[in-house]
Amino acid sequence: MLISQLCKEQDFQAKWFANACTQLQHPHMYHRKLWEFCYIYQGLLERGMLVHGKKGLGFGVGKERLVSGFAAQGCEIVATDLDFDQAKAQGWVDSNQHSDSLEGLNQYGLCDTEQFFKLVTFENADMNHISDKYENGFDFTWSSCAFEHCGSIELGKQFIVNQMKCLRPGGVAIHTTEFNLSSNEDTLSHGVTVLFRKQDIEWMVEALRSEGYSIDIDYSIGDGHIESFVDVPPYTSQHHLRLQLGQFVSTSIGLIIQKPVV
C-alpha cells in the first residue's frame, strides 16, 4: 500500500495512478495537484474506505473532484471550506478555488445528482479551530494542499495532530501539502502559504506516533527527467511536479495516518 511520501515522477507510470485518473475522470498529466488527488484516492481505496456506508470529512475542499468521486462510491461526505469573507481576503474566491455551497462540487458529473445531494453536505470550517461536533465522527479525513494555508508552520503542525480527533477508531487521515526541497532550515514560515521542511514533517510524525497513531514515511526524492524541471510563476508549464515558491523549490508530500482500532 502507499505510505507517506513525496510526489515522484515514477508514480505517474503506476497502474494505481492510471486507475485513479479514470475514476476521477481526469486526463493523465504530469502535475503534482493531480498526483495529490490520485494519491488520496488510492490511499483510501487500499484501506477499504471508499465503500458504501463510510463517512468522510474533507478540509479546504475548494472545487476538487474528490468530493463527488467519494460520493460516487457510496461514501457519506461532509465537505468543508473557509467562510466566504475569509476566503475572499486570502484570494481563494477570485482564483475560483473556493466553495461556499454544494453547487459546483459535482460539476464534473462524477456522481449521480440524486445520490450526490443525498450523501454530501457542505459546511464552513476553520482548520485552526476544528469544531468539537466532528470528534470521533468519521472513518476518514482528507485535504489536498490546504493545511499550508493555516497561517504558519506551527498552525499547520497543530492542524495535522488536531484533525485526528475527528476519526473513529481505525480511521484513516490522508493529507497533502507543500514540501521544501531546497532547505531544511530556511523556509516560508508565515503567511497565506507556508512551506514545510523535512524537520517539520519529522515533528509531525513524532507527535502523531506519541499519540498512538501509525504513520510510515519515505523521504526519498525522485530524480526523473520531468521532475528535474522546476516550474516558475505564473506556472504555465505542462510539467509541474516541482515549482518555485519564493527562493525555494518545492513539491508535494502526502501523509497517511491511521488511528488505532482500540
pLDDT tens, residue by residue, 56-93: 999 999 989 999 999 999 999 999 997 655 544 555 44
Does residue 229 register a pLDDT over 90? Answer: yes
Q: What mean pLDDT is predicted for residues 96-117?
A: 83
Query: For 16-37, what is each residue's pLDDT tens digit?
Result: 999 999 999 999 999 999 999 9
Give CA–CA dist 90/127, Å, rounded: 14
Does residue 114 register a pLDDT over 50? Answer: yes
Q: What mean pLDDT is predicted for residues 41-52?
A: 98
C-alpha cell belonging to residue 5? 511520501
The pLDDT, as a whole number, for residue 86 is 57
C-alpha cell belonging to residue 171? 480511521
Give CA–CA dist 52/160, Å, rounded: 26
Instruction: Measure Cα distances from 176 to 61, 66, 117, 141 in Å.
Output: 12, 13, 27, 12
Bridge-based pairing of strands 217-218 and 4-6 is parallel
Does residue 39 register a pLDDT over 80? Answer: yes
Q: What mean pLDDT is predicted for residues 99-123?
A: 90
Give CA–CA dist 93/74, Å, rounded: 29
Residue 202 CA, distance from chain mean position: 18
Query: Top-level CATH class of 4-259?
Result: alpha beta
Q: What is the DSSP letter of 48?
A: T
Domain range list for the chain: 4-259
Give CA–CA dist 180/65, Å, rounded: 26
Share of the chain above pLDDT 90, in %: 90
Helix ranges (DSSP H) in 47-93: 66-72, 84-90
The pLDDT, as a whole number, for residue 103 is 79
> Helix, strand, or coil here: 62?
coil
The pLDDT, as a whole number, for residue 89 is 54
Q: What is the pTM of this model?
A: 0.94
Phi and psi torsions of 51, nearest 5°: -135, 160
